[in-house]
């Protein structure tokens, strides 16, 4: 089966001389949720714009379900729905009119039932006769999603879908995306909210300075790069770590009130659970008591920051 | 061919016209009617006939042309400028529509509106001045060709303009003066010889003359020259639009 998107050696240099993308290779499989992460100006939007036909590439090829975006642009573009970052809309049109317009524009015959399904799934049905200018920001964002879904695309691009959206609406948006995936739609989202990628994505690509730095399954990425920390809160502070505990990766914090053990998250499933049982029994032998403990796994954000920093 | 796409663009542009009926139809018809009232009924009776045509009736083709040119340009330019300005053009550019289909939708709608407007003004003129149309089919041909050509020009201006000022520049500073000096209110042979020659460099002269010929069988230049001029203009605009889409000029960076 053809991948949903295949990007091959894609480059984009704008007329200003700015190199937004350099030799990007990327394959996105059909049916997955792919999150493209990167700081502002990394090239996320340019990459999406090239795939969707908004920006002309200066080198390389892109195909959508096997259709080249230049030579076979009709087949390629009709498979894609794009939800842009900016909340742009025809202020004086109604929700119904603007969503129906999108369906026609993408070459589909009118289908009021489909439009109704889309509007209902995005809880826009009650607003169908409202002019866009009267809608709240969150509703406008939904209208943009409805427009992108009007022609039943196989692939949906969400460019920063939850930028400037409140927490509740963000969760709703995630729900919508998950439902879409269940219907078989491939979803590519860009974000700089790590939380979002962590919550949603099957795979994550990190883009930085126009280059793809890494593409990995989310779980594996977090396992590979994630370290865990166990923090023990001590009722009586330690001045230094007793020599009997030298075999463990320990450090003292909070003026001796905290003992921090760093270990690899991947080892937890191993036989002695990353050395935690041994550590605890060694602590007991050394006569160190603790009143509380907590563990913390590094988030994608930590991973992301260390990746981007590592390249600077 | 993505006919549903063309239809969607065309209908949404026509819907925009309906939403702004006062500004886009009523106001141009009304303001042109004022000319008929003043020049046709009030002053016209004191001005002698030109080429055997009553003065009020003489100015009708030129005035329709004036409205046709300015309205085609401003309507078509706004139609494409506004999505560019508001950002909604992303959808058009990401859609499976060819540049020809985009032009067909936008320019087709703008030209339709201009033709309707031209016919409305013509009908209104009939109330005020003694009108006669010797060659109705030719008249319609000129009306349609001019509407189409200047809607294309408007489309080009809409893509070229980055702000509202530039959008107004061409209709106000180029088209209106050229039309006023293009024989709308006088026959060219009424001018001093030097101006008669200079006037022939004004392309609008050929449009007004050809259009007036279809009404009264008389014009400042030959019918063939008029037809050739409008077709030349149409060809130029088509070539420019083609270049815009091929190069991505101001549309696809």
Q: What's the token pair of residue A74?
A: 């009709």
pLDDT category of residue A78 using cuts at 50, 70 and 90: very high
Q: Measured between beta carbons, which residues in chain B are less than 8 angstroms from residue A102? A: 8, 91
Residues of chain A in contact with residue B244, where contact means CB-CB under 8 angstroms, are none
For B84, nearest residue in chain A (alpha carbons): A88
Q: How confident is the model at residue A193 (pLDDT cuts 50, 70, 90)?
A: confident
Q: Which residue of B has its CA nearest to A49?
A: B94
ipTM over 0.95: no
Chain A CB contacts of B252 under 8 Å are: 53-56
Minimal C-alpha gap between B216 and chain A (Å): 44
The pLDDT of residue A305 is above 80: no
> Domains in chain A, ordered, with CATH?
5-223 (3.40.50.300), 226-311 (3.30.70)
pLDDT, position A226: 65
pLDDT for the residue A77: 94
pLDDT value of position A311: 64
pLDDT score, position A80: 94
A148 to chain B: closest CA residue: B91
Instruction: Work out the average pLDDT over A229-253.
Output: 83
Provide mean pLDDT across the span A6-17. Answer: 92
Q: Where does residue B46 rank: exposed (0-12), middle (13-18), buried (19+ CB within 10 A)?
A: exposed
* B250 in contact with A, Cβ within 8 Å: no
pLDDT at B130: 83
Cβ contact, residue pair B86, A90, below 8 Å: yes
More confident residue, B140 or A284: B140
Q: Which two tokens stand for residue A135?
A: 């809608």
Per the prediction, chain A carries an average pLDDT of 86
Q: List, for chain B, all residue ranges whose pLDDT scores fall below the cut of 50.
A: none
**Which of B2, B8, B91, B251 would you mutate first to test chain A, the one with the most A CBs within 10 A?**
B91
Residue A222 has pLDDT above 80, yes or no: no
């Amino acid at each position: 089966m053809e991948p949903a998107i295949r990007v091959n050696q894609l480059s984009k240099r704008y007329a200003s001389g700015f190199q937004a993308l350099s030799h990007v290779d990327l394959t996105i499989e059909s049916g997955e949720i792919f999150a493209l992460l990167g700081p502002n100006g990394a090239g996320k939007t340019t990459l999406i714009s090239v795939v969707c036909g908004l920006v002309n590439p200066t080198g390389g090829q892109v195909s959508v379900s096997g259709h080249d975006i230049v030579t076979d642009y009709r087949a390629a573009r009709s498979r894609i729905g794009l939800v842009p970052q900016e909340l742009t809309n025809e202020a004086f049109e109604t929700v119904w009119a603007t969503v129906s317009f999108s369906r026609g524009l993408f070459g589909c015959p009118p289908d009021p039932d489909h439009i109704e399904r889309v509007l209902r799934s995005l809880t826009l049905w009650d607003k169908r006769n409202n002019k866009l200018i009267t809608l709240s920001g969150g509703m406008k964002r939904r209208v943009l999603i409805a427009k992108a879904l009007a022609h039943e695309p196989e692939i949906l691009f969400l460019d920063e879908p939850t930028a400037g959206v409140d927490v509740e609406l963000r969760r709703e948006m995630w729900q919508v995306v998950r439902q879409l995936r269940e219907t078989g739609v491939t979803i590519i989202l860009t974000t700089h909210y790590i939380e979002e990628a962590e919550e949603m994505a099957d795979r994550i690509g990190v883009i930085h300075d126009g280059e793809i730095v890494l593409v990995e399954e989310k779980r594996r990425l977090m396992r590979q790069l994630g370290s865990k920390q166990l923090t023990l809160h001590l009722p009586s502070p330690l001045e230094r770590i007793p020599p009997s505990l030298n075999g463990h990766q320990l450090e003292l914090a909070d003026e001796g009130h905290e003992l921090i053990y760093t270990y690899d998250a991947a080892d937890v499933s191993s036989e002695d659970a990353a050395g935690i049982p041994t550590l605890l029994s060694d602590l007991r032998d050394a006569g160190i008591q603790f009143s509380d403990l907590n563990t913390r796994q590094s988030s994608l954000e930590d991973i992301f920051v260390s990746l981007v920093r590592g390249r600077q | 061919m993505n006919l549903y796409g063309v239809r969607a663009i065309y209908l949404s542009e026509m819907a925009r016209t309906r939403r702004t009926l006062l500004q886009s139809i009523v106001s141009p018809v009304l303001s042109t009617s004022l000319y008929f009232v003043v020049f046709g009924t009030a002053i016209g009776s004191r001005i002698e006939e030109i080429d055997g045509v009553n003065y009020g009736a003489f100015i009708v083709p030129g005035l329709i042309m004036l409205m046709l040119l300015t309205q085609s340009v401003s309507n078509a330019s706004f139609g494409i400028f506004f999505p560019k300005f508001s950002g909604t053009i992303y959808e058009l550019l990401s859609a499976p529509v060819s540049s020809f289909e985009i032009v067909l939708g936008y320019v087709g709608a703008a030209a339709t509106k201009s033709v309707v407007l031209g016919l409305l003004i013509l009908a209104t003129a009939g109330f005020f001045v003694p009108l006669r149309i010797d060659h109705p089919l030719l008249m319609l041909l000129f009306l349609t060709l001019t509407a189409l050509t200047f809607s294309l020009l408007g489309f080009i201006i809409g893509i070229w303009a980055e702000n509202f000022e530039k959008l107004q520049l061409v209709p106000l500073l180029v088209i209106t003066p050229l039309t006023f000096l293009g024989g709308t209110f006088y026959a060219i042979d009424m001018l001093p010889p030097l101006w008669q020659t200079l006037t022939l460099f004004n392309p609008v002269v050929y449009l007004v003359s050809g259009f007036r010929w279809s009404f009264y069988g008389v014009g400042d230049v030959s019918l063939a020259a008029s037809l050739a001029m409008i077709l030349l203009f149409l060809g130029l605009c088509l070539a420019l639009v083609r270049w815009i889409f091929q190069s991505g000029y101001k549309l696809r960076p």
